[in-house]
Amino acid sequence: MSKLFRAFLRHPSGRIGLAIISLYLIAALLGTLGLTPRDPLKLFAIDRLKPPSANYWFGTDLLGRDTFSRLMVGIKQSMIIAFSSVALATLFGTIIGLLAAWWGTLWDGILMRIMDVLLAFPAILLALLIIAIVGPGTATSVVAIAIVYTPIFARVVRGPALSLKQRDFVDAARTFGSSQPYILSRHLLLNLVAPLAVQVTLALAWALLTEAGLSFLGLGTQPPTPSLGLMLAESKNLMTQAPWLMIFPALTIMLGILGFNLTGDALRDILDPRTQRREA
């Protein structure tokens, strides 16, 4: 494991990606603990639309709220949604993919066709449908993004699981009388960690993007809680007077996605010996 980590740190993309993710996690942690330079919700009425200064590092918005502090809480919000939705998608996708491969034939057909049905919807459309049913909010965003990405994990797991199932060591384990859950978790899942790790990092990048998109449309995190997408959307009408309101959220969204993309790329290079590059 430490060898892997060192290889990762030697990879330029890995180093930069990890640095960005760490920075975001620290910001998210400080945002959660309330350790922002200023209260992100407090209105400083006399300081409306102030440009960046020593007092307000990234300026203030129309209501005199501190952009920097709001971005920190926005990052926290994005991170919570991205990590929880990807965790759910990984869990359910992996279970579905493993069972489809293990049970085979009929179940494989049924489960994977259901996944195909979900994949036939453009991601944002599927998310919109779910939001229409449950109503917008943080929890809805998590569920919506999780449902969107579950089929992708199911596919990523099913393929390699099918070929692992045919391998001699699985047959051997069966002959020993190992239980099915044991074989599935020990022999199949453990060998799937590498492709899953790559997929998880890339999915985190997509989840950040989808979350920002949903909140940009006003269907994600609801005000007054700050969210990166909503901050960008609100800046649209003020962009000539207060460009900082647009530039900083835009950069924050980009940099976050970049961090996960770089990490995913580095992981793929290191974990896949053939560096087979299949873009999503």
Partner 1 sequence: MNYVVQRLLTFPLILLGVSVLVFISIRLVPGDAITAMLGTEAGLLTPAQRAALAAYFGIDQPVWAQYLRWLTGLFQGDLGISSIYGKPVLTVILERFPLTLQLALMSMVIALSIGVPLGVFAATRNEKPSDLVVRILAMLGQSTPSFVIGVLIIYVLSVFFGVVPAMGTFTPLTVDPLASIGQLIFPAVTLGFAFAASVTRISRSAMLDVLSDDYIRTARSKGASQRSVVWRHALPNALIPVVTLSGVEFGYLLGGAVIVEQIFALPGLGRLVLDAITQRDYALVQGTVLFIAFNFLLVNLLVDLAYVALDPRIRIGGR
Residues that bind partner 1 (CB under 8 A): 13, 113-114, 116-118, 120-122, 124-125, 128-130, 132-133, 135, 205, 209, 212-213, 216-217, 229, 232-233, 235-236, 239-240, 243, 246, 250, 253-255, 257-258, 261-262, 265, 277-279
Q: Which residue has the tokens 């940009």?
A: 216
How far out from the chain centre does Cα 193 lie?
Answer: 18
CA angle 265, 270, 275 (to 5 degrees): 75
* In the complex, minimum distance from the CB of residue 41 to partner 1, in angstroms, rounded to a whole number: 24
* In the complex, minimum distance from the CB of residue 213 to partner 1, in angstroms, rounded to a whole number: 5
Give the count of beta carbons closer than 10 Å to the beta carbon of residue 30: 17
Give just the sign of the alpha carbon dihedral 125, 218, 57, 39.
Answer: negative
Nearer to partner 1, 66 or 211 (CB): 211
Nearer to partner 1, 184 or 228 (CB): 228
Distance CA 192, CA 198 (A): 10
Please answer whether residues 29 and 271 qualify as being in contact, where contact means their C-beta atoms are separated by less than 8 angstroms.
no
Dig out the tokens for 162 from the structure. Answer: 């099918």
Nearer to partner 1, 153 or 173 (CB): 153
* In the complex, minimum distance from the CB of residue 265 to partner 1, in angstroms, rounded to a whole number: 8
* In the complex, minimum distance from the CB of residue 267 to partner 1, in angstroms, rounded to a whole number: 15
Nearer to partner 1, 56 or 216 (CB): 216
* In the complex, minimum distance from the CB of residue 252 to partner 1, in angstroms, rounded to a whole number: 10
Nearer to partner 1, 4 or 255 (CB): 255
* In the complex, minimum distance from the CB of residue 224 to partner 1, in angstroms, rounded to a whole number: 21
Nearer to partner 1, 3 or 278 (CB): 278
- Report in angstroms the alpha-carbon separations of 198 from 7, 28, 143, 195, 275: 15, 23, 22, 5, 12
* In the complex, minimum distance from the CB of residue 35 to partner 1, in angstroms, rounded to a whole number: 27
Nearer to partner 1, 173 or 212 (CB): 212
Nearer to partner 1, 104 or 122 (CB): 122
* In the complex, minimum distance from the CB of residue 129 to partner 1, in angstroms, rounded to a whole number: 5
How far out from the chain centre does Cα 186 lie?
Answer: 26
Angle, in degrees to the nearest 10, between helices 228-235 and 244-271: 140
Distance CA 5, CA 222 (A): 38
- Alpha helix (H) ranges present in the chain? 2-10, 12-33, 67-103, 105-119, 123-134, 138-165, 168-176, 180-182, 193-216, 228-235, 244-271
Q: Which residue has the tokens 């502090």?
A: 69
